[in-house]
Amino acid sequence: MIKRLPPLFRNFYAVTGFCFLMWMIFLDSNDLISRFRMGSKLRSLEKEKEYYQEKISEVEKDKKELTTNKELLEKFAREKYLMKKPTEDVFIIQEN
């Protein structure tokens, strides 16, 4: 029976290597499919991290400007929170 198998399948090292390769590709907890998914998730999380770091730097820049410049602080309060002086009227124009 063993004599009818091709020589490649009679070699112990070839069969063991093939079994090991199949194990690593499909059955292991760190198989190639899982590693590909984790790699793509890692890339998306790194892009998200970069985006949030840019936003943090923008907010820190705005914070520094608002704490040093009173006129800019007043402008920010008027635009963002619709604050006004007691003698003023505020009109909000919304475009459709």
- Do the beta carbons of residue 32 and residue 22 sit within 8 Å? no
Mean pLDDT to the nearest integer, 69-77: 85
pTM, whole model, 2 decimals?
0.56
Q: Please tell me the predicted confidence (pLDDT) of residue 1.
A: 60
CA 41 – CA 30 distance, rounded (Å): 15
> What pLDDT band is residue 81 in, cutting at 50, 70 and 90?
confident
Instruction: Using the predicted structure, report yes or no on whether residue 78 has a pLDDT greater than 90.
Output: no
Q: Please tell me the predicted confidence (pLDDT) of residue 45.
A: 98
pLDDT digits (tens, 9 = 90+) for 31-64: 888 889 999 999 999 999 999 999 999 999 988 9
Residues contacting 23, CB < 8 A, separation 6+: none
Q: Is 19 left (phi over 0), alpha (psi -120 to 50) or beta?
A: alpha
Q: Please tell me the predicted confidence (pLDDT) of residue 2.
A: 66
pLDDT digits (tens, 9 = 90+) for 1-29: 667 777 777 788 988 999 998 888 888 88
